Each structure stands twice: as structure tokens, then as C-alpha cells.
A and B are shown apart, each in its own frame.
Chain A
């Protein structure tokens, strides 16, 4: 089945540790996105990538880093510099020339 996978669904980390969230898609989509969702709020864009080896900061990139070495993969690292990392993280992808984004199931990160 084609789709977007994010693993794990729930992730716990101690404060001060870096953590990497996985996002993989087999839809052959060119663009990929990372969003953060906090309770009662909409989605805020962290980073996005329109082609391999290229990515741009979104609205809340501070404390996060990404890589796009392969078309199908767009991992997000939450660094210790992120002051409030506990949130729900959603990955999305989009085919070139289209405007609809397809979302993964999300990873709920809790920093203790």
C-alpha cells in the first residue's frame, strides 16, 4: 500500500536529549513537510523540502534540523535547543505540480 509512515507513534525522551522522528513515503512525492501541532492549535510548519538535498525553514524551525538524502525519507531531529519539544508531529508529502498534501499518522513526542 502506498502511503506515509511515521515511527514511532509515541516517543518519550529525557530533557536535553536529541531525538529523531522518522518519516518515510512510497508515493514518489517530491515535496515533504514537517508540522508541529500543540493542543487547541492548528499545524505550524517546521521545515519543508521540495527536492532531494534541499530544504527550507518554515515558521518555527528553531531547535529543529532535517535532512533529505533520499526522496522517500525526511527525518526530523528535535534538538536540545528546542525549548518546548513536547507536541504532536505530523509529516506530509505532496507530488510536484499538485497542491494537496498527504499526511502521515503522526508521532506524539513527550519530553520528561
Chain B
């Protein structure tokens, strides 16, 4: 069965430090997609990245970077030089190609950035 685990509920970080949000997933499918979404206090989910199971290349977008490792079933997200505006809830999610693109979400992690 699909499962996404974000073991960190909240992480305290000082402004300008780096913070890594962990995501571990379980799936029996060979074709699947992984996502990260950001949920600011307004509530709407904002798409950050999508990665398919055949593309393990790491990605960097500004201060955001993602490390996808199939060997450990992990898709971790790092925010470099964190800012107060980064204080939101971040969700990791998994979608299987054979499941009608139903998406399973982790419980979310909130980096609490202190000035």
C-alpha cells in the first residue's frame, strides 16, 4: 500500500540557516510520482516540484533543493538560508500511475523560522 511519512512535525530553525524536511515513501509500483507542496497560512496548497520515479536527478530552484533517492525511498527537501516567509506547512505526496492518480499526502512539516 502507498504511504508517505514525514516524521518531523515542526522544525525550529534560525533565520539564514538551512533546513531539511524529510520524506520517506512506500509503494509497490515501479511508476510513480512524488510531489512537494507548500501550504501558507491562507490554506491553499502551492505546487513546488514533481519528480517521476525514473528521474533521480536532484533539482535546485533558487533556495529550494530536492534530493530523490530510490534506494532509501526518500525525497527530501532543503531550504537554504531560510527566511521568515518560509514558515508554512510543507507536504510531501505520492501518486501511483495505476491508481487513477490518487495522491497520498504525508502529515506535513512546519519549519518555524525565527528571526
Question: SS class of chain A's interface: helix, strand, loop or mixed?
Answer: strand
Is there an interface contact between A42 and B103, defined as CB atoms closer than 8 Å?
A: no
Is there an interface contact between B106 and A102, defined as CB atoms closer than 8 Å?
A: no
Contact-residue size bin, chain A (C-beta under 8 Å from the other chain) = 20 to 34
Q: Judge whether A41 is part of the interface by a CB distance below 8 angstroms.
A: yes
A39 to chain B, nearest CB (A): 10
Q: Judge whether A1 is part of the interface by a CB distance below 8 angstroms.
A: no
Is there an interface contact between B100 and A42, defined as CB atoms closer than 8 Å?
A: no
Interface string of B54-95 (1 = CB under 8 A from A): 000000000000000000000000000000000000010001
Chain A residue contacts of B97, Cβ below 8 A: 99
Is there an interface contact between A42 and B107, defined as CB atoms closer than 8 Å?
A: yes
Chain A residue contacts of B6, Cβ below 8 A: 42
**Complex CA distance for A44 and B4, rounded to whole angstroms:** 12
Within B27-66, which residues are at the interface with A (CB < 8 Å)?
Answer: 33, 35, 37, 42-47, 50
Q: Judge whether A56 is part of the interface by a CB distance below 8 angstroms.
A: yes
Interface string of B97-109 (1 = CB under 8 A from A): 1001111011110
Q: Judge whether B9 is part of the interface by a CB distance below 8 angstroms.
A: yes
Known A-B contacts A42-B108, A90-B45, A106-B44; A100 and B100 likewise in contact (beta carbons under 8 Å): no
Chain A residue contacts of B45, Cβ below 8 A: 43, 90, 92, 103
Q: Judge whether A64 is part of the interface by a CB distance below 8 angstroms.
A: no
Chain B residue contacts of A45, Cβ below 8 A: 102-103
28 contacts between A and B (CB under 8 A): A31-B101, A33-B103, A40-B107, A40-B108, A41-B107, A42-B106, A42-B108, A43-B91, A43-B105, A45-B103, A50-B100, A56-B100, A58-B102, A88-B43, A90-B43, A92-B45, A94-B101, A99-B50, A100-B35, A100-B47, A100-B50, A101-B47, A102-B47, A103-B44, A103-B45, A104-B44, A105-B43, A106-B43
